[in-house]
Structure 1
């Protein structure tokens, strides 16, 4: 497992349940010790002091359920080194920004799951971290809250912070992220800019109206072919040339369309983890 997140970059970390996303994040934070390798920030290995500059949002909420929201956020901010006055100001700013300012006196356990998630994000941001590492930050949020959290993450990136987050909401990852890493069995099996990954798909759509059933079977480089609403959707093997497929299609008669289809992140994910 090896990857780099640059300053001001939003990096989506995706994979099936149990693939190793949370374990990786816990190693970054020092909650778990790596068997080998290192975690570096600005080229220097991270120690306890530098980890204080990371904002972490665990998948399982790490909040004290019977503690009031405002008291809890001020406490966590001071643990990260803020003065009491700065902790109070930061708590007010982030609870207002995330739409829970009217709940600062409530115990966390009395909040809805969505509002608990907002408070958890406030806890990750309250000390103005240099790096954000967020595990399933959009889980349980309504569309309005998703928009607010998306804006906050993009703002942090615009201010130069590297942001890593995991999510099973692949449409959201595709829309938000600059780059994506797909994890399978503890290994990064695909990584790159979203547009690069989508453009690298090996699917070709062919509209050859006179082509008989199975016309693409046996063509060099073809992994599979299936009918798709009057067309044929052909998946090529990695690195395969599409010209033999074009010649085979032309041999059946006129070809009205022959085009590479950009794969969605969901399709790339299914292919990578299969």
Structure 2
């Protein structure tokens, strides 16, 4: 896929603290790319550099053939984590104002706004002041404002915040639709289940530096060891003695066995001791959520799998 945005060798410091160090990745046309990391990892600094809200000390940001201050901001849509709609302005007026800031034709913007308001169950709110909307409704309006001008690159910072499950599905469907139609999407979220469900590739930051970068399949293969969940009344000490078991987490009659890298699942299961009580067994790779927690809390449980690429 065509590279729409390229970030290369980004460094940014604030006084004595280096917020990001040697950050490099790309976002391609028609893909959903996740940028992940715990609070304070450097995600927002990276996004603000891309948006031109601040500029890096070193490195380059290229959009098509434009870089730095020459990047055409009207081709980029941005949904910030902090909500910034004018509270006493009517919904349609704020949408048209945002479209005008992007030099988008107002007659076309008005027609598209009506379509999106209907699509997001906001029909009839055109003349309602933003301050009268619920948090979720306000989030929908701000999302519409970020895509109304048909951006080539869409940056979404915690887009699912404050949304009920039905609204989350609406957002997910629209984000997928935009990507299917060629929009490059850079998505930041702490909801790992949604990231795992939606994203094609991911870039994870910790302490301002890259720790993971690649497709979800590649990341799972490289970093996500297998785990075995067993439902049955078993002694944790006995389970820990099983070959290739790194550690055991136990709650009530459920035991989770975290396994060493490069096990052969079929062979390992066949070699389980006969005295293990198994009412139900599930063997799969650990989730993106578990990888995120491991990195964010510096447990280093994945160090053996990922130390060469950290």
Distance 1:103 1:93 in 2: 12
Query: For 2:124, what is the secondary structure of its paired residue?
Result: helix
Does 2:145 correspond to 1:123?
Answer: yes
Report SS of the residue matched to 1:85: helix
CA deviations over 1:167-215 (Å, ceiling 9, x no partner): 11111111111112222112221122223322332235499x9x95653
TM-score, length-scaled by structure 2: 0.74
What SS is found at the alignment partner of 1:38?
strand
2:239–2:248 contact (8 Å) kept in structure 1: no
**2 CA distance for matches of 1:59 and 1:206?**
36
Higher relative contact order (CA 8 A, sep 6+): 1
Structure 2 unaligned blocks of 5 or more: 1-22, 299-310
Which of the numbers 171, 181, 191 marks the counterpart of 1:149? 171
Secondary structure of 1:37's aligned partner: strand
Q: Which residue of 2 aligns with 1:171?
A: 193
CA distance in 1 between partners of 2:227 and 2:79 (Å): 40
Q: Is the 8 A contact 1:199 1:263 kept in 2?
A: no
Q: Name the structure 2 match of 1:215.
A: 241
Shift of 1:75: 1.4
**Aligned equivalents of 1:234, 1:4: Cα separation in 2:** 33
Q: Counterpart in 2 of 1:57?
A: 79
Could you tell me whether the CA contact under 8 Å between 1:205 and 1:232 is conserved in 2?
A: yes
Q: Which residue of 2 aligns with 1:272?
A: 295
Q: Report matched runs for 1:73-222 at 5 Å.
A: 73-200=95-222, 201-203=224-226, 205=228, 212=238, 214-215=240-241
Query: Could you tell me how far apart the structure 1 residues matched to 2:272 and 2:75 are?
Result: 63
Change (3 A) 1:215 1:116: same
Q: 1:255 to 1:130 in 2, by over 3 A?
A: same
8 Å CA contact 1:183, 1:189 repeated in 2: yes
1:72 and 1:213 map into 2 onto residues whose CA distance is 60
Structure 1 residue ranges without an equivalent (≥5): none
Tell me, yes or no, if structure 1 residue 261 matches structure 2 residue 289: no
RMSD: 3.1
